[in-house]
Structure 1
Amino acid sequence: MLAYYSRRVHEEFWTEHWGGHSVDELLAVARTSPLTTLITAALPRQGVVLEAGCGLGQYVILLRELGWRAAGVDGSVEALATCRRTAAVPLLAGDLRALAIRDGALAAYVSLGVVEHDPHGPDAILVEAARVLASGGTLVLSVPYLNGARRLGGPWIRRRQAECARSGGSFYQYAFTRAELIAAVRRHGFVPLGAHPYDPARVLRVAARALRGTRRAADREHRGSVASVAPAAEPAASGARPPDTPGGAAARERSAGRRRGWLRALARRALYTQPALRMLGHMLLVVARRA
């Protein structure tokens, strides 16, 4: 496992984190996400599905819309209250290591990006997941993936994280290899059925944001350096091209929009090949059956 530390982690971290998002925003993402396809393909149609660590509850809402008897549990009362203002779905505030749910009550247990935040590892949460799942019940669990890119950068990442910890940073999360996550679920009586990396575009989105920030800073510096020496505007040449008409500009914008859509579709297809997922997948989802 690869440990990450952060100076932003504190008692109210998750309340503040969810406060930066809206239920409608996350629900719109979930409706078209490849992750949703992985989840729904794994879930049984009968029985209760619990999302453990549901946050703002977008998957509880979506699964209920799609016909599942879904409920959610989370440690943030504020996040659950925000969800309830959008949809009247069954929610419970509680600790995932000690759920107020009877033994074997659930047909499926879904937890997306949660167990990695326990500094002692995922075992305590998995013990409780095994208790509340019925025999033959389905576990759908995802964690940050120790993918090819993270393995290549492992020595550098570990040095940076050790520096963060020494300078006062708190534990934030672990990233897992496929073997480590499968071993963890097996330790608690689960039979792995499949492992699926997903969200390979995350690293590209982060890089793009960094590049845009660098470019904006360079543009500001350039504009500042030339502002004082900019020549006076010259009159337009008699043969200059006339300004666009509204109709022409709209047509060009529609054409550019179509091109962007095609490029996004091609990029998604390329990123969701197995080699790209192994190298760039940000998260790893494991589906398992309780023995």
Structure 2
Amino acid sequence: MEYWCTVTRPFVTILLFCEVSEPKDLWDRHWKDLSDDILFRQRQRLGIPNLSLTEEQIQNYARFEIEQILNKENRTLTDYHGIPLPDAALMQDAGNRLLLEELTYATESMTQDSADLEQGLNAEQKQVYDSILEAVYDNRGQIFFVYGSGGTGKTYLWRALMSKLRSQNNIVLVVASSGIAALLLVGGRTPHSRFKIPIDLNNDSCCNIEQGSDLAELIRQTKLIIWDEAPMVHRHAFEALDRTIRDIMQLYDPSAKDKIFGGKTLVLGGDFRQTLPVVQNGGREEIVDASISKSTTIWHNVLSTP
């Protein structure tokens, strides 16, 4: 795919034919002009009208375009002292639509929302809120279960956590087992949609997420996963996600294969007195056995909160 724009071509021509003595100074003075239309073109290409890119990402795109044109002339940016090569990892992130969607939240408004929501937490909510954030910031990879029926303030707690972390440019993935519940959360999805959990589940199931895919990279960079109405879903779904995240994370941290959910912090919420997993032709025993509380690999790692 070609990203070249007409603005960078004259810059390359100058580098090639004008014997520039200070190429870095030329770059520093004119990079904003060279990258003037990059944000617009990325919004068009990715289909994200409110996409925002950092200054570093925009500069990186401009250097990538310059490097591509120079390569056609058998030259490279390393031939011009001071102008760094484009960062391949940053380019990959900037082309990852799923990742960018989770990084387009307005941090300024999120910061204000976070302050307002935090102030409105009651004593119990604040205790849970602080414990979860501490686990996230310390990269402990803990699992929390927030137990409570409808109207007890779980959604408010989710919003407070989401605003706090997103205001700091951290990625929070929010899912809810019920589509209606997912609509109440900004960026909410159903778990099967977000994590590609198979419909037919068994003891060895894994999610349909390929190593190196955009979704795998999104999960790798995620700081917190919130799963509302968790008791509604078969325990095999959680076990499938656990196996998948361990598999994704072990490429970057070999010890992750031995950590629950690959070392990610996960917050579950719901009420076991409400709807339990639906088991086709199942009786009481089969339905109870399908509950996440019966998972031998997950439930003993869960920290229960009121």
The answer to whether the superposition gives a TM-score over 0.5 is: no
Instruction: Say which structure is richer in strand.
Output: 1
Q: Which has the higher contact order (CA 8 A, sep 6+)?
A: 1
